[in-house]
Homo-oligomer: A and B are copies of this chain.
Amino acid sequence: MKKITATEYDLHLGDATEGLASWLAERQYSGVFAIVDAEVNNHWKPLLSRWKHQFHTQQFIAPFGEKRKSLKTCQSIWKWLMEQGADRNALVLNIGGGVVGDMGGFCAATFKRGIPFVQIPTTLLAQVDASLGGKLGVNFNQIKNNIGLFKNPKTVLIDPQFFKTLPKRELHSGFAEVTKHALIADKELWNKLLKINDLQKIDWLALLPKIIEVKNKIVKKDPFEKADRKALNFGHTVGHGLESAFMNSKNNLLHGEAVAIGMICESYLSHKYLDLPKGELEEIVNFINRFFDKRKISATRIKKACELVKHDKKNDGGKVNYSLISRIGAYSINHHLTKVDLEESLNYYNLM
């Protein structure tokens, strides 16, 4: 079990069963209440029932997903915590992807004005991004993560064995955030990534610490996103707009899929405004296209995305705020761009 120190807590990398057992053995809680993604529960029943027996864990099992990352689901979770008799000394355990972590964490952080929680992220996306840095929340009024807060978990247990049952599409979605971490702050990591062709064949236990370190470093420098942390939003201004624009459609975009498109668009804007070299722009586009199928963004969707980015959390004074890169591995924050820029960048994506 490898330990990585984050701002106020430790991450544990390795076997989650062992990690959870030893972590809980050193602590006393009045109860351990697990919120489990239904897919994870289906695939990992024997593992979870071993945990359940060991820790007397009550479980809230639900099919999660962006659509259910809502105040309505929060109300079910809060009611369940009340029915189970969870008090202020109880622990919430979030087992699943980013939705479970963000929403379960938000529920814990606001239940009886806040009870402790632990993240056990089971997707690549959650392990390298969502579970780190204390961002919690739910979607509201069509805007992603519109309601939430910053609060760190007691610990995060990272175990790549869960990837074995992760659908290919989900694994690739998570890889978008891996790509982003390299692009904004780690050229060396980027060069490593360039050699990857098959995500199923990666030695995750060796690679994950390097990826996690990029995020940890930035979050430590600026926990509440006043400045540098905005760098992590590279690809996300356009990405969130697209994700929201596709949210209630049949052919929805996963978060990472939207961010992958967003990174192409924002690399284009980085080239346009920050002189990101043409060679690097092409390298990025080619790399992303290696892992993500092309999606056609219709004029209607472009219009909708333009409307939705107006509510982006980074905005100030009515201006849409982008985090770009001046080189691969070098971020540059606080660029105010126009609706025309956004349209142009989406047209660039459509044509690439």
A-side residues, CB < 8 A to B, are 30, 71, 75, 78-79, 82, 85, 87-89, 109-114, 135-137, 140-141, 143, 145-150, 224-225, 310-311, 313-318
Of chain B, the residue at the smallest CB distance from A88 is B313
Of chain B, the residue at the smallest CB distance from A79 is B141
A146 to B115, CA, bound (A): 12
A78–B146 touching, CB < 8 Å: yes
B135–A318 touching, CB < 8 Å: no
A224 to B111, CA, bound (A): 14
A141–B82 touching, CB < 8 Å: yes
B316–A148 touching, CB < 8 Å: no
A136 to B79, CA, bound (A): 19
B113–A316 touching, CB < 8 Å: no
Which residues of B lie under 8 Å from residue A88 when comparing CB positions? 313-316
Given contacts A146-B78, A147-B78, contact A318 B113 (CB under 8 A): no
A110–B149 touching, CB < 8 Å: yes
Of chain B, the residue at the smallest CB distance from A134 is B113
A141 to B225, CA, bound (A): 34
B87–A316 touching, CB < 8 Å: yes
Of chain B, the residue at the smallest CB distance from A319 is B87
Which residues of B lie under 8 Å from residue A140 when comparing CB positions? 75, 78
